[in-house]
Amino acid sequence: MRHPSVVIGMAAALLAVVVASCSSPETKAKEAAAVAAAEAWLKMTDAGDAAGSWQASAEFFRKAVTQEQWTKSLSAARAPLGGLLNRTVKARKYATRLPGAPDGEYVVILFRSSFANKKSAVETVTPMLDPDGAWRVSGYFIR
């Protein structure tokens, strides 16, 4: 089993590579669907619903991190920040290969976020296309 920080932080190495780029209409549609999935998932994390966000995560995520590990990690990362004030998409990038993850379809999304106790944060959320065809979050990192 992978350590939670591997899954949660797997997209961190991509921060330098995520840049705005010209995308095909098909890629833009995939990015839009992934952003919608990420935003729905983030609503659960914002509400402190660790169990719900774990259940709604990608199969890859759930196999790598137990629900108990996720609950502890989410609480440790988010509780000190306080409530969400604002979140906007800063960048998004479609990819088929990511470090530490199986080949597949991913969208690395950077959100510019503001919380009650941290005015400027960047959340990296990485949805992947699960085997059933749904976009689900496979990684989360906040700095």
What pLDDT, on a 0 to 100 scale, did the predictor assign at position 22? 56
**Range 4-12+23-142 has CATH code 3.10.450.100:** yes
Query: Residue 69: how many CB atoms within 10 A of its CB?
Result: 17
* Phi/psi at 119 (5° precision): -70, -30
Which strands make up the sheet holding 135-142, listed edge to edge? 84-95, 106-115, 118-129, 135-142
Average pLDDT over residues 107-126: 98
| SS3 call for 136 | strand
What is the model's pLDDT at position 11? 42
Name the residue with tokens 């921060």: 15
Question: pLDDT for 122-134, tens place per residue?
Answer: 999 999 999 999 9
- Measured between alpha carbons, how far is 101 from 10 in angstroms, rounded to an integer? 8
Q: Token digits for 130?
A: 């699960």
Alpha-carbon Rg for the chain, nearest whole angstrom, is 14
User: Where exactly are the structural domains of the chain?
Assistant: 4-12+23-142
Q: What is the predicted pLDDT for the residue at 25? A: 92
Q: Round to whole Å and give the CA distance between 65 and 53.
A: 12
12 has pLDDT over 80: no
User: Is-contact 123 87, C-beta < 8 A?
Assistant: yes
